[in-house]
């Protein structure tokens, strides 16, 4: 197009954060932050409106020299694999500002600056076409997330933030080593597209696969490197939990799609059975842990481990239905689980408790709240007509085609999901109205509805008419499979 749309999308939140530094009024900070995130969302809508669904080629590309001596460039571009996540990041950014309007009442300016910087860095991860630039975005986003948890979190925030930082930093260091090895074995270039064209020896691929696996598995997170997630979610403010579940977890799965499969195809095929087994373990283990929780936030956090297991299962099924289902389920999970964390935050603001034992009969006190909560719970269960049904059906179809036992384990995980989600709704929304006797409960207001409605729209839109979303993904996934199976077979 000749217009630097992606740079504008990535840099708009950063520029907004700079503007916030000069504002004094908390209300001015909130409204400006909301305006910046809505503008960024509008730019992402324009990007999708002009996105060509018939090609797998990178679109809206920009390339400028950065460190010519090392071949490092400022290179941005998106394809069908990354386009939906750029949009999702911008959408959840606006919702996080709305969710923090009342919940964050101290150091408001610093919080909104951290949130906007975080959004800019996450957008950069999904747009980067230079491996070094990708690593800079990938690593730098730890800092604002650490601050969001450590400064504005709950009573155990320092421990949770430190644990989050240590786990993700350990994975990032292995990723950095992998990047350096890939640079020297891949023709001394950081160009991601050029690296996908390289034919690396299997031993090098294997070493890089496990280095990348640990880095990406921490982010997903996969069992057994998942233990930072419940602590981070429980202690993070509502916006932090939405960002964690909605975007940050997707970056691990995105790493598999952008690096492991196209650059390391032989290793990806060779170790796919291991990855399917780890995915099945996450699905069942996460579901069992969620089933045992009384804390609402912990329940949704452990459900994320289970749901992201479906994503990695779809990716390493290494077939069209599995990968398309995995990518769509990443988008769906961002919408649905982001909404569930929003709902936990809204009720926590009213009651200051997350224990399900303290609730009951919420439907009578807040009928609109409980009606929308039911929609998102049914979505998380993958009920037909909701977004997660389409993604989960494709994942299960691809999973059964790849490995019958893993597919059966995934079905068991889906049944566990229904058990803990319906159990949660029964305890919170139904039964005698004990909640109203303890707390003064009000239903959702206009600001909260503004945050809820966009997510509800996507639950029903993807569930009832998924074609536009699958069209965006399709060409890029077909090309990815050619890269994986073509290289792996020596073609």
Domain for residue 360, yes or no?
yes
Is residue 54 included in any domain, yes or no? no
C-alpha 20/C-alpha 466 separation (Å) is: 38
pLDDT at residue 487 in the model? 56
Q: Exposed, middle or buried by CB within 10 Å (0-12, 13-18, 19+), for 166? A: exposed
> What was the pLDDT predicted at 365?
81
The mean pLDDT value for 404-414 works out to: 91
Residue 367 in this model has a pLDDT that exceeds 50: yes
Angle at 413 between CA 315 and CA 454, to 5 degrees: 70
Is omega for the bond preceding 224 within 30 degrees of 0, making it cis? yes
Of 1-5, 31-35, 139-143, 297-301, least confident by mean pLDDT is 1-5
Task: Say if 70 falls within a structural domain.
Answer: no
- Asked if the structure places residue 470 within a domain, the reply is yes
Asked if residue 234 has pLDDT above 60, the reply is yes
Specify the pTM. 0.92
- Higher-confidence residue of 1 and 210: namely 210
- Percentage of the chain exceeding pLDDT 70: 97
Total tally of structural domains belonging to the chain: 1
> How confident is the model over 305-339, as pLDDT tens digits?
999 999 999 999 999 999 999 999 999 999 999 99
Q: How does the average pLDDT of the chain come out, rounded?
A: 90
What's the domain range around 378?
271-491
pLDDT at site 223: 86
Tell me the CA distances in angstroms from 70 to 23, 286, 411, one per residue in order.
Answer: 40, 43, 48
Q: What is the pLDDT of residues 67-120, one digit of tens each?
A: 888 889 999 999 999 999 999 999 999 999 999 998 888 899 999 999 999 999
What pLDDT, on the 0 to 100 scale, is given for residue 2? Answer: 64
Q: Does residue 416 form part of some domain?
A: yes
Rounded to an integer, what distance in angstroms lies between the CA atom of residue 217 and that of residue 225? 7
* pLDDT over 90 at 349, yes or no: no
Task: Judge whether 329 and 304 are in contact, CB under 8 Å.
Answer: no
pLDDT tier for residue 433 given thresholds of 50, 70 and 90: low
Q: Is the pLDDT of residue 376 over 60?
A: yes
93: in domain: no
| Nearest Cα residue to 281 out of 365, 197, 223, 339 | 223
Residue 107 lies in a domain: no
> Could you tell me the pLDDT band of residue 274, with boundaries at 50, 70 and 90?
very high
Read off the pLDDT of each residue in 429-447 and give the average, rounded to a whole number.
74
| Cα gap 305→167, rounded to integer Å | 16
Rounded average pLDDT over 173-197: 89
For residue 225, pLDDT over 90 is answered with: no
pLDDT of amino acid 490:
44
> What is the model's pLDDT at position 157?
87
Residue identified by tokens 């948890």 is: 149
């Amino acid at each position: 197009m000749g217009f630097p749309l992606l740079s504008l999308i990535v840099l708009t939140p950063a520029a907004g954060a700079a503007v916030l530094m000069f504002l004094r009024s908390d209300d001015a900070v909130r409204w400006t932050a909301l305006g910046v995130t809505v503008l960024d969302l509008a730019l992402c809508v324009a990007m999708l409106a002009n996105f060509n669904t018939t090609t797998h080629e990178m679109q809206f590309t920009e390339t400028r020299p950065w460190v010519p001596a090392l071949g490092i460039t400022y290179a941005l571009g998106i394809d069908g694999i990354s386009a939906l996540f750029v949009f999702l990041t911008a959408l959840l950014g606006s919702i996080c500002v709305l969710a923090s309007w009342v919940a964050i009442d101290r150091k408001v300016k610093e919080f909104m600056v951290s949130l906007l910087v975080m959004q800019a860095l996450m957008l950069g991860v999904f747009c980067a076409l230079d491996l070094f630039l990708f690593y800079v975005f990938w690593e730098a986003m730890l800092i604002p997330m650490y601050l969001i948890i450590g400064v504005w979190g709950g009573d155990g925030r320092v421990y949770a933030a430190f644990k989050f930082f240590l786990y993700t930093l350990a994975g990032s260091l292995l990723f950095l080593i992998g990047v350096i090895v890939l640079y020297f074995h891949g023709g001394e270039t950081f160009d991601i597209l050029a690296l996908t064209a390289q034919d690396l020896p299997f031993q090098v691929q294997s070493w890089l696969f496990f280095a990348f696996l640990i880095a990406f598995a921490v982010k997903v997170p996969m069992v057994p490197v998942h233990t930072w997630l419940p602590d981070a979610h429980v202690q993070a403010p509502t916006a932090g939990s939405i960002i964690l579940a909605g975007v940050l977890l997707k970056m691990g799965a995105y790493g598999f799609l952008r690096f492991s499969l196209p650059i390391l195809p032989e290793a990806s095929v060779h170790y796919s059975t291991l990855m399917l087994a780890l995915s099945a373990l996450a699905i069942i283990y996460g579901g069992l842990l969620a089933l045992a929780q009384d804390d609402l936030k912990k329940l949704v956090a452990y459900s994320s481990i289970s749901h992201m297991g479906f994503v990695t299962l779809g990716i390493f099924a290494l077939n069209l239905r599995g990968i398309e289902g995995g990518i769509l389920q990443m988008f769906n999970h961002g919408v649905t689980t982001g909404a569930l964390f929003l709902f936990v935050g809204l009720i926590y603001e009213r009651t200051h408790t997350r224990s399900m034992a303290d609730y009951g009969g919420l439907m009578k006190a807040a009928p609109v709240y409980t009606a929308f909560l039911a929609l998102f719970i049914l979505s998380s269960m993958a009920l037909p007509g909701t977004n997660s049904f389409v993604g989960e059906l494709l994942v299960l179809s691809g999973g059964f085609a790849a490995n019958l036992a893993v597919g059966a384990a995934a079905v068991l995980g889906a049944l566990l999901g229904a058990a803990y989600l319906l159990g949660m709704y029964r305890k919170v929304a139904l039964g005698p109205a004990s909640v109203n006797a303890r707390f003064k409960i009000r239903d959702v207001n206009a600001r909260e509805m503004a945050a809820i409605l966009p997510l509800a729209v996507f639950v029903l839109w993807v569930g009832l008419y998924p074609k536009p979303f699958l069209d965006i993904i399709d060409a890029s996934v077909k090309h990815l499979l050619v890269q994986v199976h073509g290289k792996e077979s020596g073609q």
